[in-house]
Amino acid sequence: MPDFMIWSAPEEPYETHIRLCLESWNELKIRFGPTLIRLFQMGEDDVLEGIEAAIVCHDIGKLSYQWQDYIHKRKEDRKFGPPHATLGASYLLLITDNNPSSLSNASALAILMHHTDSGLAYGNLEHPAEDAINRGLVEYGTGSIRWSEGAENAFRQSFGDLSGFNLIAKGVNSVTLKHLETMAKLLRVWARCPKEIERHQRRLQTLAVHHILKVCDWRAAFQRLQIEVDEDEEGEKVAESWHQSILKVYLDGGLLS
């Protein structure tokens, strides 16, 4: 076991964040499910499990040694956190044995951009391997990622008995520098297919999954904020005011009740 708790955010266990995201998706899937089924032209079970996979994978990169070293620093010392989205996207494609569906590709691309609001993946898609090397994610002289001690256990704990994931044999340490390069090439080809109508469809698919990841991430963060401020009366007022604001519409999936 590591000598510190694996965090997703300061003071928040990694597995707690992923489970809160999964809980949010469970509350929202009745709204999003029918649209996603039409958009991806897949069966309901495949779509729902595919979104669960995207949620489980989206923050895997936070299990790296470099990211855990960063997040455990004092707030004033935390600047320019190392990239993490590329490791999650690579793992998601890795467990499809390089034969991904349109949902897997869209989910991997959505993971690459899930911390942006521009609909772009920037360097995450163009030069992920170089970034991983330059930011210290890779063991010197090898193609292996430097994972934090306890990373695999935290990953397994994050999805519990979730069907479709509890039988996965590949650990997070299966991701290597080569997988980052393969992921980038595969997604660039997928996103830039020659037919314009297909490119448009794939943009819509990716942005749909991107929106879901953003909503679930924000809802999980909102619950963390409530926990932090519930102990004092003023904090309760702030949380209640925020909960009643227009942001609640976004947290409920961008749809009015």
Cα 103 to the chain's mean position, in Å?
14
Please say whether the beta carbons of 14 and 7 come within 8 A.
yes
> If pLDDT is split at 50, 70 and 90, which confidence band does 189 have?
very high
pLDDT digits (tens, 9 = 90+) for 154-168: 999 999 888 777 667
Rounded mean pLDDT of the chain?
85
Please count the helices (runs of H) and the strands (runs of E) in the chain.
12, 2
108 is written with which tokens?
Answer: 């991997």
Domains in the chain, ordered, with CATH? 7-214 (1.10.3210.30)
For residue 178, what are the contacts with CB-CB under 8 A and spacing of at least 6?
Answer: 143
Q: Is the pLDDT of residue 3 over 60?
A: no
Place of tokens 């999805």: 159
In the prediction, which pLDDT does 244 show? 52
pLDDT digits (tens, 9 = 90+) for 61-115: 999 999 999 999 999 999 888 999 999 999 999 988 767 899 999 999 999 998 7
What is the 3-class SS of 172-202, one letter each residue?
HHHCEHHHHHHHHHHHHHHHCCCCHHHHHHH
pLDDT digits (tens, 9 = 90+) for 28-52: 999 999 999 999 999 999 999 999 9
User: Which of the 8 DSSP states describes residue 119?
Assistant: S
